[in-house]
């Protein structure tokens, strides 16, 4: 005889999943970078709840906050209000996100090679997609396209009337870097370059030629892992 209450959907536990579908086993076999956001969050959360395994819980948490960017802006109170997230899990999760942000922003001394706009996004997306103001950073590269340093040049409105090309290029001249990549974020989340972004790019290319510094790219960071390379789009680059 059926219970009068609503029938709860069955959700297999992680142990009931095939070995090759379990997040921890997949991480050990393939490496963390090959796992989805849902799988990585599931590893942090460790366990689900009655009737909902940890992968299902992870997916629900990501959907609730509209992805990793929203999770990065979440508070301990917002996380704890979700069914299935204890205070301990919420604290652990926020700590992991903060460690991720710090690791990508404080390790420029490690020889990171930048060969594509995706490499730039991998380096700075986690930090810059969450910023509520525009920030403009300059990546200094050596002749092998290895990252030498990252300089933050502007915070606030990044537009052609404010950005002085000499200030952007000065760190490269001081550090004897032959090339740079400029990166800034759009707090709106839309990475499509504005006319101001294109104008700044043209000014930086011209100034760089005078000072012996090549602008390799200008990358605009949005949210939801979106970014645009002005060089790829041939915006401001001849």
Q: Report the pLDDT value the prediction gives residue 139, as an integer from 0 to 100.
A: 97
Determine contact, residues 62/38, Cβ cutoff 8 Å.
Answer: yes
pLDDT of residue 37: 80
How far is residue 204 from each of residues 77, 78, 84, measured CA to CA in Å? 44, 42, 50
Give the DSSP letter string of 154-217: EES---TTT--HHHHHHHHHHHT-SEEEEEEE-TTS--PPPHHHHHHHHHHHHHHHHHT-EEEE
Give the pLDDT score at 29. Answer: 84
d(CA 67, CA 45): 16
In whole angstroms, what is the distance from residue 55 CA to residue 170 CA?
48
Domains and CATH numbers, the chain: 14-104 (1.10.150), 117-229 (3.40.140.10)
State residue 12's pLDDT score. Answer: 47
pLDDT score, position 17: 57
How deeply is 187 buried, as exposed, middle or buried, from its count of CB atoms within 10 A (0-12, 13-18, 19+)?
middle
pLDDT along the chain (238 residues), means of 10: 41 54 82 81 85 84 81 89 90 86 62 89 82 93 94 84 90 97 95 95 96 97 90 95
The reported pLDDT for the residue numbered 9 is 46
d(CA 182, CA 120): 10
| pLDDT at 18 (0 to 100) | 55
pLDDT at 10: 40
What pLDDT does residue 174 have?
95
What is the total residue count of the chain? 238
* DSSP tag of 49: B
Note the pLDDT of residue 157: 79
Residues 6+ apart with CB under 8 A from 23: 14, 35, 39, 40, 42, 43, 54, 55
Give this prediction's pTM. Answer: 0.59
């Amino acid at each position: 005889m059926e219970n009068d209450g609503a029938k709860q959907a069955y959700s297999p536990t992680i142990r009931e999943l095939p070995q090759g579908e379990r997040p921890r086993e997949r991480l050990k076999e393939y490496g963390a970078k090959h796992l989805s956001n849902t799988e990585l969050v599931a590893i942090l959360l460790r366990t689900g709840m009655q009737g909902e395994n940890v992968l299902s819980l992870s997916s629900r948490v990501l959907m609730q906050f509209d992805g990793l960017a929203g999770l990065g802006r979440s508070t301990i109170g917002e996380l704890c209000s979700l069914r299935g997230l204890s205070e301990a899990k919420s604290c652990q999760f926020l700590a992991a996100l903060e460690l991720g942000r710090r690791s990508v922003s404080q390790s420029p001394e490690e020889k990171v090679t930048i060969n594509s706009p995706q490499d730039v996004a991998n380096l700075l997306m986690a930090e810059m997609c969450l910023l509520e103001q525009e920030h403009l950073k300059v990546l200094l590269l050596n002749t092998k396209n290895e990252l030498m340093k990252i300089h933050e040049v502007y915070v606030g409105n990044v537009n052609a009337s404010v950005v002085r090309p000499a200030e952007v290029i000065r760190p490269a001249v001081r550090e004897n870097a032959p090339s740079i990549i400029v990166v800034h974020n759009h707090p709106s989340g839309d990475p499509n370059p504005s006319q101001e972004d294109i104008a700044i790019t043209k000014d930086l290319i011209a100034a760089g030629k005078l000072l012996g510094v090549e602008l390799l790219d200008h990358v605009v960071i949005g949210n939801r892992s979106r970014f645009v390379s002005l060089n790829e789009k041939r915006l401001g680059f001849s």
